[in-house]
Each structure stands twice: as structure tokens, then as C-alpha cells.
Structure 1
Amino acid sequence: MRDKRMTLKEAVSQFVKDGDNVGIAGFVNVRQPVATCHEMVRQGFKDLTLSFQSAGLGPEILAGAMILDPNKFSVKRIELAYWAHEAFGLSPAWRYLAERGMLEIEDWSNYNMSARFKAGAMGLPFIPTRSPLGGDIKNCSRTKIIDCPFTERPIGLLPASNPDVAIVHVQAADKYGNCIIRGTDCTCAEIAMASAHTIVTCEQLVSHELLTSNPKDVMIPFAAVDAVVEVPYGAYPGACRRHYWFDGDHTRKFLACIAPMCKGGAPDALQAYYDEYIYGVENFGEFLQKIGVNQLLAVKAAEAHHCERLA
């Protein structure tokens, strides 16, 4: 174990490279690594592959940068199950890039992408499953169908997913990279352990003794993590269980900057958004200052109210 604390700028600069396969953790807009995506956009990368199970704000932010200037930031391929925003609608950035043939797309189901990350985490080159046999996934992916050597029944083989770098946001971590996830755990542990490097942002950086006081709470072990960055509200405007609820207004504001471009609209609103909230700030803390303490307290209170209703 070693101290892996660093700034987000340092972590992204050290572990993300042009042409990398980037694994995006979280589920739809819960615990999306938004702060890390902001920093990636500021630094600019080319020809990335994005691999995720179900994601929304993370790939949307990266794709928005590509729409504005593909010479500064670009994604060449996505391997995914779902890219949208549930209550806030489908992804306009994906629609824009796909309709213009700007992306390679490999379509999987949620289960299949999770299985691929599981294979990567286990160090296996592939994993057998019957899931692709029940639909068209086998026709739009690299699934291989063989006769099982034990049962002689057809079985699908899915290639392991081994990203070059995973970007993950969690509720708590220690300086060594042990992580606690509350609420939906998604496929975050598998993505982290399947990747060559992992950047973790956390709501709270806590002592090793406190974090490991109940070892069963450790969802991602230190050995899978290369960088730890404390970034409160690091998934905003998405949600982070026990910390803050979705900011629907800001999410809709962001998506509304992209949607008109799918119909040939000008990029002015999108450019203004990035100039104000991403390119125009030095770090995620400055982005949050633009949001304002009242709004951040409001989404925090909304999560507290939601938790009370569940209780």
C-alpha cells in the first residue's frame, strides 16, 4: 500500500493517454465520474474508446467536447449497453455522432457488458454465457457461438473488457485506494479491477482505520486503484447516494444545449456552456462555485428527504 492521493489534473495527465480505452463506472447518472470527465475535456485527448455498462452524463460530457472540436477531443468507438439519461431523455450527443457516422458502435446488453468486465477482472480472455442467444446482440457484437464441450448445447463467448484506465466516483476512499460504495454498486468493482489503471474520485477521503473497520464494506480494494482524489459533489449534476440528489434543472440545461444540433442547429449554446463551466474554470471546485452553494445545498436536502421516505 502506498499513498495515492493527487490532484485530478495530475491523475488524468498521468493515466489517460490518446487512443486509450476508458472504462466509465457508475450507473446512468448515479455516481458518474463527472469531475474526471471535465478534466479530461480540459486536457484534450484523441481517438478514445469508451466502455461502459449504462452511463449518461460521463460520455455525454466527453461527446459534447467532440461535437465542438474533434481536433481537440475525440472518441472513435463505444462499447456499451445503454447511453441515455432515463427521466431526462435519450442522449442527444450519441444521436448527433451516430447519425453522422462519427463513431464505431458495439452494442451489448447490461448483463453482457457486466459479464465482459467480470471476465476482465478475473483475468480471463472471455466468459461463457447464454445471454446473447436470446436476441440480436450476437449479430451486432463480437460474440462467438460454439457448442459447449460439456453439454453440446450452444453457448455464447463474450470477449473480456480490459480498459486502459477506469474512471470511478465513490462515496468514500482512503489514501491507499480502498473504496466504499453506498446504494447501487453497479459494475464499478469489476471495471476497476479489469482496467490497467484506475482513477477514483470520492466524496470523502477518510482514514484507513475508519474505512477498513468493517472490511466487508470495502467494494474496491486498494490494489485496483492508482489515483485517489477527494472531489465533493464529483458526480454533480448527477446523484450520489447519501450525499445529493439529481439536479434535474442543470441536467436539462446541459442536454438542451446539444439537442438542437441534431436538427442542424448552431453550436453556440453548447460552446457557451463549455466555455463557462468547463474551459472557463481551472478545476471542478471552480465549476461548483458557479453552481452556487444554495443549489448544492438544495440537492443535498433533496437526497436527505429521499432517504427519509425510503426509511
Structure 2
Amino acid sequence: MLWSGLSPEEARSFLVNKDKSKKDKRMGLSEAINAFVQDGHTLGLAGFVNSRQPVAAVHEIIRQGRKNLTLAFHSAGLSAEYLAGAMALDENRFSIKRFEFAYWGIELFGISSMLRYLSENGKVELEDWSNFNMSARFKAGAMGLPFIPCRSPMGSDVLRANRSKIIDCPFTGSPVAVVPACHPNVALIHVQEADIYGNCRIEGPLFTCPEIALASAHTIVTCERLVEHDEMTREPNLINIPFFAVDAVVELPFGAYPGHCHGHYYFDEVHIREFRCAEESFRKGERKALVDYYSRYILEPHDTDGFIGQVPYSQLRYIRQIEKRDFSLLNGK
């Protein structure tokens, strides 16, 4: 296999001819997923581990039951975990065929339970990269290059686990590694602010999100809040993702919950532990807890509002106060 998603030639042709006009791109989440995410697609999962993960978007993909997906990311936690859990429960309804990634875990909760389950049972293809390698692959895609040179794969066993190549540098004659561009069919990105045209502002680390958006054929953005276009363009240097890279904008507060969204809420340790314990029970042969979790929080609710409505308000209040460094709640005030 040379390429997942689009080949560089396909991506260049598609992106050159793509409609880049400035138009209102607001959509409902169900509408956006239905319009752009199809069976067999490669999805670029943005964010990093538990930060700004596109959780609401992947919940909707699970509800719509896509099949034979490839997931590409440098480091992911909750978004990949939710998708993999859906496959583990019923791969006839939802399935993934391949992962291209560097790290998959849930921070203080450890390496992914579902990675262990799917890989140990031979259910998916795995291609292993370093974090920098995957970021470089998205960077090559954003630049319209078929590959990009990197030193980092050299001198390690990671060369045995992916498609990187060693070539002689045409200028120095010294060996250098090259990694292939990654062009997802669809990027899934959660940001703090966007306008109706798709311009995005990201608070905190960027996590290669701009490159993933520019490398992908289509980009779905969920945001904590919509801002007026005039406000967005008042400081154009703060725009991290330009409108012409975005196809759908969905205003969705708590769109990264139970993960972290810088400046808005910290990750919910209580809820993540509930999910993680259900996964571990499943991996050890007990299905009920994970079946109940997916039924209650993902499949039975019609949307993100329904999901968030299942979470105690005290937990949501707590993670917002922690993120804003308001420790009054810890003192019982």
C-alpha cells in the first residue's frame, strides 16, 4: 500500500479545484457528518491525547455507523478510543480497518484498552510512527509535497513499522529518511472559536491542527463558540485555520468533553474513569458495562446535548472551575 486517503496527485487535483469561496458554512453535526464522512474514508483526528479531541464528531460517526475507516493521527486518546470501542462492540455496525499513528492512550489512565484489544485479536492494521513523523506527514500534505525529509526515523526500529524510506541526500550525499504525505479524506477538528466562514482561532497549543486541515480534502470544525467575522478578522494574525480549508462549521459547546479544551474546561477524570473501567471489563470478557455506556451516552442520545445531559452538572461545573483556576469549589465555597 502506498497511500491511505488521497494520493498526492489526487489531493492536488482535488484541492486546486475545490470551491474556496467565502460562504456561510454553518451546519448541524449530523448534517456535516452525513455530507462528508463515507465508508472507507481516512479520517484525520486532530487535537492531542485528551486535549481538543473531536469527541462530539466521532460520537456522531458512531451513531451513523460508518465502516472500513482508516484513522490517522499523531497522538490521540478519547476520539480514537470511542471509535475503537464502537467497533469492539459491533463491527458489523461500525468498523475500522487501519490506524496510522504515533501514540494512543488516555494520559494518566494509561495506554488504550481498545488498542490492546483490537491488536491482540488481529482485527486492524497498525502503522507505527513517531509524533514528529506524523506531524511531518501532515505538513507535507499541507505543503502539497508527496514526501518530506526527516532525520527522526533513523537509528530506531520505527523504520520497520512504517513506509518511511532512507535515501541519499542529493546535496550532501548523507543518508536521510523521507516520510510520505498524509492526505485524509476528512479532518475532524475541535477549536475554541470560529466564524461562519470557517476561520478558526485556537487557544493554547496548535497540535498540528492547521496542517491537518490544509492536508485534507474536507474539514469539519466543531467550536465552543461562533464569533462575528469582523471580530475574527480584527486580529488576522490570530487566525490559525483559514476559511478556505474548512467545509463545515458546527457550534458545539463541550464538543471535546470529557476531554480538555484549553480556556474552557479541564478533562473530566470522573467520567473518563467510568469509560475506562467499562473498557477494561470488556477486554477481560465482560461486555455489559461497555454496552451500557455506549447505549446511555452515545447511541440513545440524539446529539451532544443528549450526551451532556446525562452528566451531572456538578462535574461540568468542576472541570470549568479547574480550567479557570477557580479553586473555591475545592474549599467547599
1:6 aligned to which of 3, 8, 27: 27
1:269 aligned to which of 274, 289, 296: 289
**Compared CA separation, residues 295 and 23, structure 1 to 2 (3 A):** same
What secondary structure does 1:90 align onto? coil
Mapped to 2, the partners of 1:276 and 1:300 lie a distance apart of 23
Give the aligned partner of residue 237 of structure 1: 258
Superposed, which structure 2 residues align to 1:201-212 within 5 Å? 201-212=222-233
Divergent runs of 4+, >3 A: none
Q: Does 1:56 align with 2:77?
A: yes
What secondary structure does 1:305 align onto? coil
Mapped to 1, the partners of 2:66 and 2:82 lie a distance apart of 13
- 1:246–1:299 contact (8 Å) kept in structure 2: yes
- Alpha-carbon deviations, 1:104-157, whole Å to 9, x = none? 000000000000000000011111111111311111100111111111000111
Q: Does 1:182 align with 2:203?
A: yes
Q: Does 1:102 align with 2:123?
A: yes
Give the aligned partner of residue 6 of structure 2: none
Give the aligned partner of residue 280 of structure 1: 300
1:82 aligned to which of 88, 103, 127: 103
Residue type at the aligned position of 2:116:
R
What secondary structure does 1:70 align onto? coil
Give the aligned partner of residue 249 of structure 2: 228
Q: CA deviation at 1:306?
A: 7.1
What secondary structure does 1:273 align onto? helix
Flag structure 2 segments of 5+ consecutive residues without an equivalent: 1-21, 329-333
Mapped to 1, the partners of 2:283 and 2:289 lie a distance apart of 13
What secondary structure does 1:219 align onto? coil
TM-score, normalization: structure 2?
A: 0.91
1:118 aligned to which of 111, 114, 139: 139
**Compared CA separation, residues 307 and 154, structure 1 to 2 (3 A):** farther
Give the aligned partner of residue 292 of structure 1: 312
Mapped to 1, the partners of 2:325 and 2:81 lie a distance apart of 28
Q: CA deviation at 1:257?
A: 0.7
Q: CA deviation at 1:55?
A: 0.5
Residue type at the aligned position of 2:146:
P
Residue type at the aligned position of 1:94:
L
Q: Does 1:199 align with 2:220?
A: yes
Mapped to 2, the partners of 1:198 and 1:306 lie a distance apart of 35
Mapped to 1, the partners of 2:109 and 2:259 lie a distance apart of 11
- Alpha-carbon deviations, 1:226-253, whole Å to 9, x = none? 0000000100010101100110010011
Flag structure 1 segments of 5+ consecutive residues without an equivalent: none
- Alpha-carbon deviations, 1:151-187, whole Å to 9, x = none? 1000111000000000000000000000000011111
TM-score, normalization: structure 1?
A: 0.97
What secondary structure does 2:127 align onto? strand
Mapped to 2, the partners of 1:48 and 1:210 lie a distance apart of 37
- Alpha-carbon deviations, 1:33-68, whole Å to 9, x = none? 000011000001000000001000000000010001
Q: Does 1:214 align with 2:211?
A: no
Q: Which moved more, 1:251-260 or 1:226-235?
A: 251-260
Q: CA deviation at 1:259?
A: 1.0
Mapped to 2, the partners of 1:218 and 1:88 lie a distance apart of 33
Residue type at the aligned position of 2:180:
P
What secondary structure does 2:26 align onto? coil
Give the aligned partner of residue 147 of structure 1: 168
